[in-house]
Amino acid sequence: MARERIIYRFGRSAFRDFETGNTREWLLSNGIGGYANSTLHGNSSRIFSSYLTASLHPPVDRVLVLAKTHEELIFTAKEAGRKQLFSMRDIAPEASTEGVSVERRDLAAQQYPGYMRTGYRYQTGFTFDFWPEYRYETDGISVCKKIALAYGKNETAICYELVNNGSREAVFSVTPLFNFRPFGSVSEKGDLDFGVERFDGGLILTPGKAPEYRICFSASEGEFYDRADRKTSMATPNYKIEENELYCIDVSNGFTGVDNHFTPYELHVTLAPGERKELGLLCGLSSQKEPAADVLLRVRQIFDAAKERGEALLEQADAGDALTGRLVLSADHFLVQRESTGLKTVLAGYPWFADWGRDTMIAFAGLTLATGRFDDAREVLKSFAQYVSRGMLPNVFPNNAGEEPMYNTIDASLWYFHAVYKYLQYTTGLPCYRGQFPETEGGVEGNSALCAEEIFIRDEIYPVLCEIFVSYRDGLARYNIHMDSDGLILGGGGLDQLTWMDVRVGDIVVTPRHGKAVEINALWYNAICCMRLFGERFAGGAKGEDGRQDGNIPCGKELRELSERVRHSFCDKFWDAKRGYLCDTVEEEGIRDTTLRPNQIFAVSLPFTMPTKEQEQSIVRAVYEKLYTPYGLRSLAQGEAGYRGEYKGRLIGRDLAYHMGTAWGFLSGAFFDAWAKTMCGDSHNRVLLKEMMESFADHMADGCLGGIAEIFDGDFACGSRGCYTQAWSVAEVLRAWREINALSLW
């Protein structure tokens, strides 16, 4: 039985005009880095819009294969013969030739410089559940169009349900728009070099710049019409190329270019009065020619599989409410296969990010544990363990498979400890993984038998944690990351940007957070406590090749003493009693940055924390009053020097606002945890927490349907900015929603 989920249904008011239709998008993904994306009325609003963006080396090297399809209904007067109607030779695209009247109903929506195709005027509705569904009605003919992706394969399926309740015969025409460009660029007309082979029921296209690949496009019925046969003139276009598509979102970000796609053929299907037809189309990276007779069966299989997979994910997650269900389905977009490891990894955000270490570890619990996907959780932990170098997780994997990952992050490795802790919390159910370290002489259940999940961590992950811990403690990591004499962690300098507030514009370091950063040391304390817990629980910890314990790994008493030293130093140096919250950074010279930023919320929300209960409550109040928005926390309080309340315009302007007031969705998870921990003794605050969490359902009906955006304007957090759906935004809201609901606070 299917579990609960939000299903999005929209009538014509959602695309009452071209601009309104652009405000909502849908996303499909295929589990290997490929995806499809468009708007409610079908306009390609961004460079990344597509019906198939394929990943050549999962999950990277992504290329646009099928931009979209354009549909038309074509009618002719009775005196025109059926043959002429079908072939359309010598018929101008607008309306007629001498003596032959032709009517066209263009269902396509697309913007170009100076004009628009407004097929949404025939659109009657839009639904998004496991796939998007467009509905059109004109001249007694109804058209329903659905799109789905094959999971684990670079293949898209399009299904049309056609019903002619009118009195006239019509031709239903479909024009596929092909390409083979990198997914974040545009094509000049001269770039569209393809070899084209016709076969019964389809086309094989060979990209001139990548002849090792083939694009196969197949139809279950219909005849392919060569668009080169359509007459052209100075006033009519080259029909083999869809020219000058304009992407409104990229234009708003300062992009002034246009895009072009290859359109060698259009598919014609006749539809007689009273006739019903189901038309199936397949497009993918394959040289296998799909016979027309098999296409519709394959299309139905892809749609059935998409529904079965979605329902299975909901069942696995035990999604008992609609918000959880939709978040579970959205979380699936980010868990993908990495070819280089043969294991699962996490894409940081759509439409452009690859896998990032920091984002993965923050999103880990929400994407894998709160969804019940424990096998995938193990794969993600193992995948990143393979790339640990000098005690550091990669900050980012490149978009191209041949490039090396970059390690410019101080916090990704520390978030790895948290991810492992959460994994054991979810999979074992043992009380020692509940965030309170028992101060007993007997230790932490060190004598009880380890369960299978703990054995996995002990044998495959714990040695990596030990390497990270020693590297940070002893200064073996990059960027001068090391433990100071007071026990706190510091690193970076100059042009280095190592925390999540990492923007640099040329030689301008927008948010210099060198020295000791508040969330880094909250994570460091949490890592020390995890090391102590794991060491005692695993009874001996890391072993050398000779089987003896590695003497370089502190255990027991030494870790207890270190944790107390870090606690004392942290509270002494970061707590600002006058302001009632924590400083953001402390430089090596002892200079404190007292600007109000959200990073301190992690000093309250992590499993092991250092401030007193009174201090934690004061921190949460300050963050709520100055940084909270319904869709995330501002990265800088309004009124602070340098605050920017809008994230828009050209890249340099957006970069200068990125961490200077812009609100971030992922921070909501930690804020909700901190609120539940410190404020929920009051029934009013419990109700308020539930309302704050549920507000994300409103946002999920805007922007990317079901997703949660990366960022929002600080002044008025509403419209999506940055990535239209971000892994850690979705994951942290889902995790917090499920974990806090489990506390039965209301």
State how far the alpha carbon of 628 is from the alpha carbons of 11, 270, 636, 665, 674, in Å: 33, 57, 10, 10, 13
The helix (run of H) or strand (run of E) holding residue 572 is helix 556-574
Residues of the chain with pLDDT under 50: 1, 79-83, 85-99, 437-442, 541, 544-549
In contact, 672 and 736? CB cutoff 8 Å: yes
Please give the Cα distance from 39 to 18 (Å, whole number): 10
State how far the alpha carbon of 520 is from the alpha carbons of 488, 524, 572, 636, in Å: 9, 6, 16, 18
In 3D space, the residue among 47, 477, 2 whose CA is nearest the CA of residue 249 turns out to be 47
Could you tell me which residues come within 8 angstroms of residue 649 by beta carbon, excluding any fewer than 6 positions away?
Answer: 252, 253, 254
Bin 72: left if φ > 0, else alpha if -120 < ψ < 50, else beta.
beta
In 3D space, the residue among 527, 528, 506 whose CA is nearest the CA of residue 418 turns out to be 527
Q: What share of the chain is helix, strand, coil (3-state, %, to 5)?
A: 35, 25, 40
SS3 at position 24: strand
Could you tell me which residues come within 8 angstroms of residue 114 by beta carbon, excluding any fewer than 6 positions away?
Answer: none
The helix (run of H) or strand (run of E) holding residue 60 is strand 60-76
Place of tokens 């993984």: 433
SS3 at position 267: strand
SS3 at position 471: helix
Structure tokens at 746: 């209301």
State how far the alpha carbon of 86 is from the alpha carbons of 198, 219, 237, 546, 674, in Å: 19, 17, 21, 80, 66
> What one-character-per-residue DSSP string does 676-715 give?
HHHTTTSHHHHHHHHHHHHTHHHHTTSEETT---SEE-SS
The helix (run of H) or strand (run of E) holding residue 57 is strand 50-57
Please give the Cα distance from 410 to 618 (Å, whole number): 27
In 3D space, the residue among 620, 652, 687 whose CA is nearest the CA of residue 510 turns out to be 652
Question: Domains (ranges, CATH) in the chain?
Answer: 15-311 (2.70.98), 318-742 (1.50.10.10)
Structure tokens at 643: 């605050």
Predicted local distance difference test score (pLDDT) of residue 2: 54
Cis link prior to 512 (omega < 30° from 0)? no
Please give the Cα distance from 56 to 154 (Å, whole number): 9
Could you tell me which residues come within 8 angstroms of residue 661 by beta carbon, excluding any fewer than 6 positions away?
Answer: 634, 635, 636, 638, 643, 644, 645, 714, 715
- C-beta pairs of 498-504 under 8 Å, 24+ apart in sequence: 498/408, 498/409, 498/410, 498/411, 499/409, 499/410, 499/411, 499/599, 500/358, 500/411, 501/597, 501/599, 501/635, 501/659, 502/408, 502/409, 502/659, 503/655, 503/656, 503/658, 503/659
| Strand residues in 209-285 grouped as ranges (E) | 215-219, 223-226, 241-245, 259-262, 265-271, 276-285
CA triplet 741, 718, 21: central angle to 5 degrees? 110
CA dihedral in degrees (48, 190, 176, 73; nearest 10)? 110
Please give the Cα distance from 528 to 469 (Å, whole number): 8
What digits encode the pLDDT tens for the residues 593-612?
Answer: 999 999 999 999 999 999 99
The helix (run of H) or strand (run of E) holding residue 70 is strand 60-76
In contact, 331 and 29? CB cutoff 8 Å: no
Structure tokens at 515: 């020295």
Predicted local distance difference test score (pLDDT) of residue 468: 97
Please give the Cα distance from 334 to 360 (Å, whole number): 9
SS3 at position 209: coil
Predicted local distance difference test score (pLDDT) of residue 671: 98
SS3 at position 294: helix
Neighbouring CB atoms inside 10 A of 557's CB total 9
State how far the alpha carbon of 594 is from the alpha carbons of 40, 380, 513, 578, 591, in Å: 45, 37, 12, 11, 9
Rg (CA), the chain: 28
Please give the Cα distance from 243 to 79 (Å, whole number): 34
Strand partners of residue 162: 143, 277
Predicted local distance difference test score (pLDDT) of residue 257: 87
Neighbouring CB atoms inside 10 A of 17's CB total 11
Please give the Cα distance from 104 to 282 (Å, whole number): 25
Structure tokens at 453: 């999940």
Please give the Cα distance from 59 to 351 (Å, whole number): 12
State how far the alpha carbon of 391 is from the alpha carbons of 205, 327, 462, 493, 523, in Å: 47, 33, 12, 19, 15
Strand partners of residue 116: 111
Cis link prior to 351 (omega < 30° from 0)? yes
Predicted local distance difference test score (pLDDT) of residue 551: 54
In 3D space, the residue among 694, 695, 712 whose CA is nearest the CA of residue 703 turns out to be 712
Q: Edge to edge, what strands does the sheet with 663-664 contain?
A: 628-629, 632-634, 663-664, 711-712
Q: How many CA atoms lie within 13 Å of 47's alpha carbon, on the beta-carbon side?
A: 20
In 3D space, the residue among 329, 367, 328 whose CA is nearest the CA of residue 346 turns out to be 367
